[in-house]
């Protein structure tokens, strides 16, 4: 039975990792290419979830809802980019923090005004309902598997785009030297806009995907934003590969840590102390991991060469 | 003259690129040793390694016999290694005087003082002013360093280096980007400093190099291809072909 | 950058305002006004301490609220063990936050730039979850201070005005202390390392030591803020040290104008008072406050102080 539990938690960890990757991918590119700290990236994930809710309710189909949520998330990202963020690329990091913090406040409150403060629920689409037996006697929800599969698909697509297309080449070059790319005669503003919109859409996609398994509520992106920052810092800012590996690492460490740290500690201390310490340590694990990585590798695991 | 700085078998590569290839050279007390070479020859990287900004892959850097190759930059500075940068490195928001006063303060080693206004400390300011006077900037002491002209900034950087009371000065293209008049002023200043400090000079301006140097070494692709008295180096056919030929 | 007289008088105006508030407050909702302004002054202390490392040291700490929480828990934990002497509590609050700053700062300062921001966040979160898990002292729910604080056996802080002026004196003291520090030999090195660390190394300074010392000083001062916050609210909780709170402290400093100290006071006041006023007008005050922050970031370079300076100096 215990082995099954570990398997379930591992899959859950993978699923969290995939979601984190979808958010972190855009964040790390925006950061690496434009040197822009976007605290508002988490609200773009939230918007994706709300769009999915809205369009699913409107059309009665989650699939259609998801498909419509993507361009909506893209549009939201482009609007923010055009009106606010574009004017902050060459500014101090702290002014970017101030502005994007303001955007978070506005949008968190904005969705409350539009959709209300109480959590909303999106039904799992019919054809993805139920569980399947992936091992004898071991059932796992199909929808969660679908999230993992979709996420891996997007990761593969991203890998292809970044490594085998001209735009991807420019993005990689931009991450290590933006002025040089500009000197090559590339319209850097347009490149930035594309990267930004794409990142926003990925985050929105993540939000839309989790809408059926989490409650859709204001502020749902705040804590994921912090985890996504942890991911890109561990992975090395600007590195998609680093973000992927770090996202899975964080997803697994966080999920397994919460599930099993008490049990592990019980091996070395008495049960009540173990449960006390376990509860304390579990949520800290991701941060301890990040601090350790940074102390030994001050530019993350896969630093992008500057 | 006794050797003050000695570099032995220094190696440094960035990936496949060898920027310092088995370099051995020395600078004697009071000597001005110029290093010339085409762009990309590894001159600046050499100075970075001596001052501690870049760690060599192997080799020794001896200051008065002690190996400093593994010490952090600030330790080397307190031991008497002072430098200027190819792209002027000053504190633009501080006045010219304060830029130099900070160097005096660094040398005095008492910077964990949390009270008292250092801009009113006569001793610091007087010494700073002395050094500004050496580079003809005494009249510009109160100007924010960022507002000085390009040539003045270069002069200021020299004054900062002098204020640390260095044993050796590492000068990375002090004439780069200066106009004719300014460059004459810098050359005159260097002329005045010559003999009082050991100086390792990197410079592209050949007239200045051959006017100032006691010894010239030629660096090509990270390796020293010739070294000796200015006239001998100038006459060396190898050097003429590899380097001077392109310039003259 | 010569500002007008009014701009140069700004710090004095701020302190006069805080000094006479109690006298004016008696004509209005006194208790409400005093507690609001006390809150402003406490956050001004925290924001000024952050300004020392952020504005003068270019160290963007995203975990500064941890010190506020640690200082507050210094009070809370001692109180729950019936140690009511405020001096003992103050020493504990300052020592604990300084120690935390020393240990975490020594590690954080190995990194630079954004990585520094994130590692300070990590330690802030660790502190947060540590206190959340501390069941004996209330865990998630926090700890209400029931005992009466004393000084050598005499009850103190019972009178709101006394507490007000204690907080005022602390804020003034912190301001003067930090003013002296940033102007001192030490402060000059710190500012130099902000402008050009490579140059500072090249003349013989090790920026790390100075930055670490500044980090510890900032942590200790923020601990004083936590000490005062605990006494003012008679409550301590992990909510004092969330990452959002750390973000708010950064916003206060940037909003007011960093690297000026009184900008941090102005920023804390603007942030807290605006939040309060807007919240009275509409429940959805964040719809106004959010865009306000965006506008400040876009158009008021140097924050409110920079904005006032340009108004006054036409520069």
Task: Return the pLDDT at C315.
Answer: 45
Task: Return the pLDDT at B245.
Answer: 55
B81 in Cβ contact with B51 (< 8 Å): yes
A295 in Cβ contact with A235 (< 8 Å): no
Q: Give percent of chain C with pLDDT exceeding 70.
A: 97
Confidence of residue C307 (pLDDT cuts 50, 70, 90): confident
Residue A115 inside a domain? The answer is: yes
Residue C314 has pLDDT above 60, yes or no: no
The residue in chain C having the minimum alpha-carbon distance to the alpha carbon of residue B78 is C204
What are the sequence ranges of the domains in chain B?
A: 1-80+167-248, 91-165
Can you list the positions of beta strands (E) in A124-243?
131-135, 138-141
**If you average pLDDT over residues B100-126, what whole number do you get?**
92
Chain C residues whose CB is inside 8 A of the B166 CB are none
Note the CATH number of domain B1-80+167-248.
3.40.50.300
Q: How many structural domains comprise chain A?
A: 1
3-state SS, one letter per residue, for chain C = CCCCHHHHCHHHHHHHHHHHHHHHHCCCCHHHHHHHHHHHHHHHHHHHHHHHHHCCCCCCCCCCHHHHHHHHHHHHHHHHCCCCEHHHHHHHHHHHHHHHHHHHHHHHCCCCHHHHHHHHHHHHHHHHHHHHCCHHHCHHHCEECCCCCEECCEECCCCHHHHHHHHHHHHHHHHHHHHHHHHCHHHHHHHHHHHCHHHHHHCCCCHHHHHHHHHHHHHHHHHHHHHHHHHHHCEECHHHHCHHHHHHHHHHHHHHCCCCCHHHHHHHHHHHHHHHHHHHHCCCCHHHHHHHHHHHHHHCCCHHHHHHHHHHHCC
The residue in chain A having the minimum alpha-carbon distance to the alpha carbon of residue C284 is A109
**Mean pLDDT across chain B, nearest whole number?**
91
Given an 8 Å threshold on Cβ–Cβ distance, is A101 in contact with C284? no
The pLDDT tens digits for C12-65 are 999 999 999 999 988 888 899 999 999 999 999 999 999 999 999 999 999 999
**Host domain of residue A146:** 13-132+141-296
Confidence of residue C1 (pLDDT cuts 50, 70, 90): very low
**Interface membership of A295 toward C (CB under 8 Å):** yes
Phi, psi torsion values for B246, nearest 5 degrees: -70, -30
Smallest CA–CA distance, residue C280 to chain A, in Å, is 16
CA angle in degrees (0–180, nearest 5) for B181-B187-B189: 105
Task: Return the pLDDT at B165.
Answer: 94
Q: Does the structure's ipTM exceed the value 0.90?
A: yes
For chain C, the chains sharing at least 3 beta-carbon pairs closer than 8 angstroms are A, B
Residue A7 inside a domain? The answer is: no
Phi, psi torsion values for C121, nearest 5 degrees: -60, -45
Nearest to C251 among A101, A110, A291 (CB): A101
**If you average pLDDT over residues B194-209, what whole number do you get?**
91
Total CB pairs under 8 A between chain B and C: 92
Residue B247 has pLDDT above 60, yes or no: no
Structure tokens at B212: 């100032």
Domain containing residue A163: CATH number:
1.10.3470
Task: Return the pLDDT at C313.
Answer: 66
A290 in Cβ contact with A233 (< 8 Å): yes
Q: Give percent of chain A with pLDDT exceeding 70.
A: 95
The alpha carbons of chain A give a radius of gyration, in whole angstroms, of 20
The residue in chain A having the minimum alpha-carbon distance to the alpha carbon of residue C252 is A98
Structure tokens at C286: 């964040």
Residue A209 inside a domain? The answer is: yes
Task: Return the pLDDT at C6.
Answer: 66
With CA atoms as reference, report the closest residue to B69 among B152, B5, B13: B5
Nearest to B91 among C184, C196, C201 (CB): C196
Q: How many structural domains comprise chain C?
A: 1
Residue A28 inside a domain? The answer is: yes
Domain containing residue C159: CATH number:
1.10.3470
**Host domain of residue C227:** 5-313
Phi, psi torsion values for A107, nearest 5 degrees: -75, -35
With CA atoms as reference, report the closest residue to B25 among B12, B36, B9: B9
């Amino acid at each position: 039975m215990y082995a099954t539990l570990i398997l379930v938690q591992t899959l859950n960890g993978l699923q969290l990792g995939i979601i984190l990757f979808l958010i972190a991918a855009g964040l790390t590119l925006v950061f690496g290419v434009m040197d822009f700290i976007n605290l508002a990236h988490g609200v773009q994930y939230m918007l994706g979830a709300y769009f999915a809710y809205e369009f699913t309710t409107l059309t009665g189909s989650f699939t259609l809802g998801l498909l419509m949520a993507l361009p909506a998330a893209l549009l939201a990202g482009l609007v923010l980019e055009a009106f606010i963020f574009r004017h902050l690329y060459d500014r101090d990091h702290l002014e970017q923090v101030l502005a994007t913090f303001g955007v978070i406040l506005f949008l968190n409150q904005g969705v409350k005004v539009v959709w209300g403060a109480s959590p909303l629920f999106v039904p799992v689409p019919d054809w993805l309902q139920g569980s399947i037996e992936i091992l004898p006697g071991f059932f796992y929800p199909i929808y969660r598997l679908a999230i993992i599969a979709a996420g891996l698909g997007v990761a593969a697509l991203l890998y292809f785009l970044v490594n085998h297309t001209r735009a991807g080449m420019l993005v990689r070059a931009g991450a290590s030297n933006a002025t040089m790319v500009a000197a090559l005669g590339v319209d850097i503003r347009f490149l930035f806009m594309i990267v930004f919109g794409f990142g926003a859409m990925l985050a929105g996609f993540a939000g839309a995907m989790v809408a059926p398994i989490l409650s859709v509520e204001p502020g749902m992106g705040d804590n994921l934003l912090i985890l996504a920052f942890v991911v890109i810092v561990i992975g090395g800012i600007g590195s998609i590969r680093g973000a992927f590996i770090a996202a899975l690492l964080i997803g697994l460490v966080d999920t397994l840590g919460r599930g099993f740290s008490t049990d592990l500690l019980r091996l070395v201390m008495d049960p009540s102390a173990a449960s006390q310490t376990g509860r304390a340590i579990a949520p800290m694990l991701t941060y301890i991991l990040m601090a350790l990585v940074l102390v030994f590798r001050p530019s993350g695991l896969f630093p992008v060469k500057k | 003259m006794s050797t003050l700085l000695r570099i032995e078998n220094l190696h440094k590569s960035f990936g496949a690129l060898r920027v310092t290839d088995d370099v051995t050279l020395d600078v004697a007390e009071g000597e001005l040793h110029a290093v010339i070479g085409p762009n990309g020859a590894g001159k600046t990287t050499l100075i970075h390694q001596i001052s501690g900004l870049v760690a060599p892959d192997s080799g020794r850097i001896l200051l008065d016999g002690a190996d400093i190759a593994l010490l952090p930059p600030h330790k080397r500075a307190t031991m008497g290694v002072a430098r200027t940068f190819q792209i002027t490195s000053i504190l633009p928001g501080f006045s010219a005087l304060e830029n130099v006063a900070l160097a005096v303060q660094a040398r005095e080693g008492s910077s964990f003082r949390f009270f008292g206004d250092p801009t009113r400390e006569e001793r610091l300011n007087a010494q700073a002013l002395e050094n500004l006077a050496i580079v003809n900037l005494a009249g510009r002491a109160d100007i924010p360093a960022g507002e000085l002209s390009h040539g003045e900034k270069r002069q200021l950087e020299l004054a900062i280096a002098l204020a640390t009371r260095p044993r050796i000065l590492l000068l990375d293209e002090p004439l780069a980007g200066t106009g004719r008049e300014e460059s004459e002023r810098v050359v005159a200043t260097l002329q005045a400093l010559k003999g009082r400090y050991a100086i390792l000079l990197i410079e592209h301006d050949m007239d200045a190099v051959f006017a100032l140097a006691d010894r010239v070494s030629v660096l090509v692709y990270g390796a020293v291809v010739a070294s000796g008295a200015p006239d001998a180096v100038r006459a060396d056919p190898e050097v003429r072909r590899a380097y001077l030929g392109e310039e003259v | 950058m010569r500002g007008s007289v009014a701009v140069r008088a700004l710090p004095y105006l701020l302190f006069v305002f805080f000094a006479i508030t109690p006298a004016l407050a008696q004509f209005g909702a006194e208790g409400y006004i005093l507690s609001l302004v006390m809150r402003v002054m406490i956050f001004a202390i925290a924001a000024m301490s952050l300004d020392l490392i952020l504005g003068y040291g270019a160290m963007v700490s995203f975990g500064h609220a941890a010190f506020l929480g640690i200082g507050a828990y210094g009070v809370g934990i001692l109180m729950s063990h019936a140690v009511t002497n405020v001096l003992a509590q103050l020493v504990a609050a300052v020592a604990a936050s300084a120690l935390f700053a020393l240990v975490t700062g020594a590690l954080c300062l190995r990194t630079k730039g954004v990585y520094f921001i994130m590692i300070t966040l990590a330690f802030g979160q660790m502190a947060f979850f540590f206190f959340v898990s501390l069941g004996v002292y209330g865990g998630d729910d926090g700890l209400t201070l029931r005992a009466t604080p004393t000084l050598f056996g005499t009850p103190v802080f019972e009178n709101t005005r006394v507490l007000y002026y204690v907080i005022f004196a602390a804020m003034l003291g912190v301001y003067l202390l930090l003013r002296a520090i940033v102007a001192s030999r030490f402060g000059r090195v710190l500012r130099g390392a902000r402008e050009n660390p490579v140059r500072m190394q090249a003349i013989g300074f090790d920026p790390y030591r100075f930055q670490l010392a500044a980090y510890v000083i900032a942590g200790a001062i923020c601990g004083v803020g936590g000490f005062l916050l605990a006494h003012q609210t008679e409550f301590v909780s992990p909510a004092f040290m969330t990452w959002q709170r750390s973000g708010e402290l950064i916003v206060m400093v940037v909003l007011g104008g960093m690297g000026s100290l009184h900008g941090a006071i102005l920023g804390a006041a603007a942030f807290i008072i605006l939040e309060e006023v807007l919240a009275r007008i509409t429940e959805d005050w964040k719809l106004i406050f959010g865009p306000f922050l965006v506008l400040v970031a876009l158009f008021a370079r140097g924050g409110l102080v920079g904005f006032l300076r340009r108004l006054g100096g036409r520069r």
